[in-house]
Amino acid sequence: MTGPDEPVVLTAEGLAARITLNRPRALNALTAPMVERIDQALAHWEHDPTVETVVITGAGERGLCAGGDIRSIYEDARAGGSASAAFWRDEYRLNARIARYPKPYVAVMDGIVMGGGVGVSAHGSVRIVTERSRIAMPETGIGFVPDVGGTYLLGLAPGELGTHLALTGTPVGAADALLCGLADHFVPSDRLPRLLADLTTTVVWDALERHVRQPPPGELEGHRAWIDSCYRSGTVEEIMARLRAHPDPEAARAAETLATKSPTALKVTLAALRRARRLGPLEHVLEQEYRTSCAALSSHDLTEGIRAQVIDKDRAPQWSPGTLAEVSDVDVDRFFAPPESSGPESGPGPGPGFGLGLAPLASAQEVPW
């Protein structure tokens, strides 16, 4: 196990092993050593007969995890380095391990859960939200594209809800996370300590039965009509036009939100979502996301978006290209092209295993529990 001051605290009690993300001042943002430590722990516990359930939580009162350390990504991108690509390779492999984990993996998605935080939670087999949960994939606001399997998850959401969330980066609460398939159970936050205690002595399903409740009402169900109508369009330009023309004021607000995002990121995100629905298993989508992420690393908008939102905090990014009309199909296709050369870990060429070397996800019938 690990000490209380480590960025990832690992403990075991009774039937449960627990991962605590422990960088509360940084809202538990993930770093490369944290990803490696979590992966090592999961590999060990998978074969430990004393561990029946794995639980992941975040330290502090603000949330599980706000994502990756984007300041590090900013510095790496500016320097033309490769550290971010190496981090994403390990992170996406961890996401795939979580999705295929042979034991119950309980993610407590309390508070803020964004970006990489979604990756270490929403692929789990038991995903718990509370009245404090705020879940989002806000990447288009920093010139990036949803990753960590986000395009896979949002592509599976009912209708076009996932398209709306991916393009706007809108955070959702408990009921909407359940509606979109990002979570499984609602547990009031004041019951979490008792649930975690019960998991050390009781199998997960019996523990859940004692604490799961009905969530407060959400918002997205009431917006399905205009969301599905506007976002089913094949281009971002047409989506924007439909949103602006729709009589519901919430549609107009969504259009205003989209107008602040990176035009390139919006077009690549829409293409990634549409492609993800046809790719099949999560692993194949992660391969695609690895390509789009690495391509973004050399783009203007990623560093500019991080600068505006996190470094200088002026909230005034200067996107390039600056309009949707200026983003060509060639610009979008560049994000999905295989890397020009393949390193020793990326495989011999394009295809389902190119970049990450992941095997397809096991079917539900193959999971023993």
- What's phi and psi for 93, nearest 5 deg? -65, -40
C-alpha separations of 254 from 98, 124, 175, 180, 251 in Å = 33, 30, 20, 18, 5
- Tokens linked to 287: 């391969």
Cross-strand partners of 134: 112
From 147, 160, 283, 301, the catalytic residue: 147
Q: Rounded distance, CA 121 to CA 115, Å?
A: 10
In 160-259, where does DSSP find H-type helix? 161-168, 174-179, 192-199, 204-211, 224-231, 236-245, 249-258
Q: Rounded distance, CA 147 to CA 268, Å?
A: 12
From 68, 117, 162, 169, the catalytic residue: 68
Q: Rounded distance, CA 31 to CA 76, Å?
A: 13
Angle at CA 261, nearest 5°, toward 240 and 140? 110
Active site residue 357: no
From 115, 116, 124, 155, the catalytic residue: 116
**Beta carbons within 8 Å of 356's beta carbon, 6+ residues apart:** 89, 92, 93, 96, 283, 286, 287, 290
Active site residue 116: yes
From 91, 139, 198, 287, the catalytic residue: 139
Q: Which residues are catalytic?
A: 68, 116, 139, 147
